Amino acid sequence: MRITLIYDNEIYKEGLEADWGFSCLVEAENKKILFDTGASGRILLNNMEKLKIKPSSIDEVFISHPHFDHTGGLSDFLDKNRNVKIYVPSSFKENLNAKEVIYVKEKIKLHENIFSTGELEGIEQSLCVKTEKGIVVIVGCSHPKVENILKVASQFGKVYALIGGLHGFKDFDLLNDLKLVCPCHCTQHKLEIKSLYPEKYIEGGVGKIIEI
């Protein structure tokens, strides 16, 4: 699988724009899934253009939770491509003009080897992709706590990687059994994670591509 960071607080590749928010392109099982849409449609679409990601190429959109820094670019994206299936948490209230909108409450299978944890603690879902190396978990902000997210994700297989916003996460021992961690966006303790796990830590930032 391949993950391209489109929207993040920091820049990895020169020429792209950073902003408070998160979005990435997940390519797996012959699907292109836009995970979250950042805060600004302009920044989202500009970064997509520079990364040579065409909105029309996106098959599905997966919204982790309804905070502005993860949904702000959704309307502008849909102006470019309404022919998508969108997975949103059941608490999501905004009306969406798309081909199909699926409200997710419990954990579900989206495709072969692609799952949602379901809406945990009434706010946020995470995306889980089963690879030959294990489960790759992609998170928006980890509001339901990393421990709870990993517990659900482990029902799909052994967790290999954790990528995305880790908010106030500091239960660092939870990372012991993982092989890869890429803290992004709202993660407050990146330096501590990098110091404790230099061999599994990957720098994020707009333009970063992770191949698993």
In this prediction, residue 94 carries a pLDDT of 87
Rounded CA separation 65/104 (Å): 11
Mean pLDDT per 10-residue segment, the chain (212 residues): 98 97 97 98 98 98 97 97 97 91 97 98 97 98 97 98 96 97 96 97 98 96
Question: Pick from 210, 206, 212: which is nearest to 11 by CA?
Answer: 206
Rounded CA separation 101/97 (Å): 9
In this prediction, residue 49 carries a pLDDT of 98
Give CA 23 to chain center in angstroms: 6
In this prediction, residue 22 carries a pLDDT of 98
Homologous superfamily of the 2-211 domain (CATH)? Ribonuclease Z/Hydroxyacylglutathione hydrolase-like (3.60.15.10)
Kindly calculate the radius of gyration of the chain based on its CA atoms and give it in whole angstroms: 15
Question: Pick from 111, 60, 52, 114: which is nearest to 83 by CA?
Answer: 60
Domain ranges (residues) in the chain: 2-211
Q: Give the position of tokens 């996106």.
A: 58
- Dig out the tokens for 203 from the structure: 């720098």
